[in-house]
Each structure stands twice: as structure tokens, then as C-alpha cells.
Amino acid sequence: MSRRETGRSTVARGPARDDHPDPWRAADAQTNVDEMAKSLEARGRTPAQARLRRRFLRFVPVESGERILEVGCGTGVVVRDLAGLVGRRGEIVGVDASRQLLDRARALCRETARRTRIRLRAADGASLPFAAGRFDAALAITVILHVADPLRVVCEMARVTRPGGRVGLQDQDFGVVAVTHPDRALTERLMRGVAERVYEEPHSGRRLPGLLRAAGLVNVRLLTDVYQDTTLEPWTKTFLERRAERAVRFGLVDAPTAERWLAGFTEVVAAEAFVLTLNYYGAVGVKAR
Ligand SMILES: C[S@@+](CC[C@H](N)C(=O)[O-])C[C@H]1O[C@@H](n2cnc3c(N)ncnc32)[C@H](O)[C@@H]1O
């Protein structure tokens, strides 16, 4: 990717005020919450992402008239999808640890909330402010990867789900990212090195079924899906830029190498040879009656 394409240097922005390397751990402590919110919306709009999100919601499944909790709702991308599925008789409750992202979600969900009951509130997934059995299903989409204690969050989701209801998790798995680039060794070093430093468990996706079972859920099912991009979608471009920026921050490469790495994708895209795939795993378990 050239600077001309991005308008400015891509490897030196978005410093965090919080010291955990994963910015989603504490979005409100970051200096670039606006960019984070935009990237969630950009991902939400990306057709291949929307398809795999909706395939997961069908897999759960989410039915008309149900009460659904989404933990880690961010700007409300999934809340808006869910509203269409539960309809006028249903209810969606979205919680998030970030008040700033919730403010954006309130604005972005205003129109949808005319047709479906939507409540958005600040809460930590590890300590949900709801009575036991309140929801037909509790979901967390690309959230478990970011939390400090995944089992505690999933146990909380199970607690607030009614007997016979479902707990559903969907996550990327950064052990399974394939991307075309002229410098394979550099790409491997940078992608793996960043994922290992940012996430406690970069293989979060493949661990979701085990997590559901550990939380006591039964009839656990798995849906493996793939995000595929052959044109360098805006969200993918931002994803690669963030990887480059962090690789510099972690001392994996210097800034000129990171710039050269990004420029390598421009060549591949120009040759119409760009491919990025990223595995997503969706797992659903049932709360025993
Ligand atoms: C990558 S975003 C996913 C947002 C949304 N589910 C989506 O797919 O668009 C992760 C979200 O989880 C939230 N989050 C992280 N840790 C959390 C926690 N312990 N409790 C609640 N939300 C949390 C973040 O603030 C962020 O909004």
C-alpha cells in the first residue's frame, strides 16, 4: 500500500493511553476510539463479513419474538442484524464495556429501535447486571478473543440464559490467516509476531467449543467459516495497516520495513493476485434444562 493510497504514513498513528497491547480490552482508554468505531462499521459493511455474521446468526438460530443479549456490542452492527431477526415482538439488549462505543451504537441504532425494542447499557461481560434465565440466547461476536477471562464471561452468559436457551460465540482465529505477499518470511514474522503479542490466545476461534463445554453447556455445535477478500477491501486494508503499525511498536520491524511490507500488497493487488483469508469459528451450546 502506498502513502498516496492512504494519504499519510500508516505506521505511526493511534498510540494507546492504556498499556495493554489489545486496544479492545479498554476502548475508552485509547486515543483513537473514533477510528476504532469506524473500523467496526467498515467491517460490518464489508459484504463477506456481513455474510459470515448472518450465517452464524442463522446457525444459532435466532427466532422471531426472542429476547437476545449481545455481549460486547460495540457500535451495534450485530444488534441491528438481530433486530431484523427478532422483529417487533422481540427484544435486543446490547452491553459493552466502552461507554464511548455505546454512545455511537445508540445513534446508529436509533432508526432500528423504532421497529424493535433495543436496550444498550454499559456492563462488563464478566459480571452481567441481569437476573438468571432472562434471555433466550446470549451471543458474543468477536469479543471472547479480547477479554481477560473468557470462561468467566461465558459462564455469565450461561447464567443469564434460560434453560433450553443458547449461548453463541463467534471469533476469528489468528493462527489461520493466509495472505499473498512477495516477502513470505517477513509476512509470517509480522503477522504471527503481532498476534502473539496482542492477544492472550490468538487461536481463540478454535477453542470456542471447549469453552462452551467448560461453562457447562450441552449439545455444542461448531460452524467453521472463512472471510475471503480478493480485492483488498477497506476493512482488510485497515487491518493490515494496524498490523504494520503494531509490528513497529513491538520492535518486530523498523518503520521503513513496515512501509515496504504495506507497499508489497499494492503490487499484489495491481497484479490482481491478492488473496486474504481468515478463519472464523462459530460455536453454539444449549443450557441444560
Ligand atoms: C471487536 S469489538 C466487536 C463488536 C461487535 N460485537 C461487532 O462484531 O461489531 C469487541 C467489543 O467488545 C467490547 N469488550 C471488550 N471487553 C469487554 C468486556 N469485558 N465486557 C464487555 N464488552 C467488552 C469492546 O469494547 C468492543 O466493543
Nearest CA to ligand 1 atom 15: 25
pLDDT at 63: 98
48 lines ligand 1 (CB under 6 A): no
pLDDT at 6: 33
Taking the centre of ligand 1 as the mean of its atom positions, its distance from the CA of residue 232, in whole angstroms, is: 25
* Most distant CA atoms of the chain, gap in Å: 59
What distance lies between CA 166 and its chain's CA centroid?
20
pLDDT at 9: 39
Half-sphere exposure at residue 56, Cβ-oriented, CA atoms within 13 angstroms: 29
For a substitution probing ligand 1, which of 20, 22, 24 has the most ligand atoms within 8 Å of its CB?
Answer: 24
pLDDT at 18: 54
Taking the centre of ligand 1 as the mean of its atom positions, its distance from the CA of residue 147, in whole angstroms, is: 8
pLDDT at 188: 96
Taking the centre of ligand 1 as the mean of its atom positions, its distance from the CA of residue 63, in whole angstroms, is: 23
The three cell numbers of residue 13 are 498513528
The strand pair at 117-122 and 91-96 is best described as parallel
pLDDT at 19: 78
Comparing C-alpha atoms, which of 43, 106, 268 is closest to residue 178? 268
How many Å apart are CA 72 and CA 192, to the nearest integer? Answer: 25
pTM as predicted? 0.94
Taking the centre of ligand 1 as the mean of its atom positions, its distance from the CA of residue 35, in whole angstroms, is: 15
pLDDT of the chain, 289 residues: tens digit per residue = 433 333 333 343 344 455 799 999 999 999 999 999 999 999 999 999 999 999 999 999 999 999 999 999 999 999 999 999 999 999 999 999 999 999 999 999 999 999 999 999 999 999 999 999 999 999 999 999 999 999 999 999 999 999 999 999 999 999 999 999 999 999 999 999 999 999 999 999 999 999 999 999 999 999 999 999 999 999 999 999 999 999 999 999 999 999 999 999 999 999 999 999 999 999 999 999 9
The strand pair at 276-286 and 161-179 is best described as antiparallel
Query: Looking at ligand 1, which atom is closest to the CA of residue 24?
Result: 24
Indicate the residue type of 46. Answer: T
pLDDT at 87: 98
What distance lies between CA 214 and its chain's CA centroid?
22
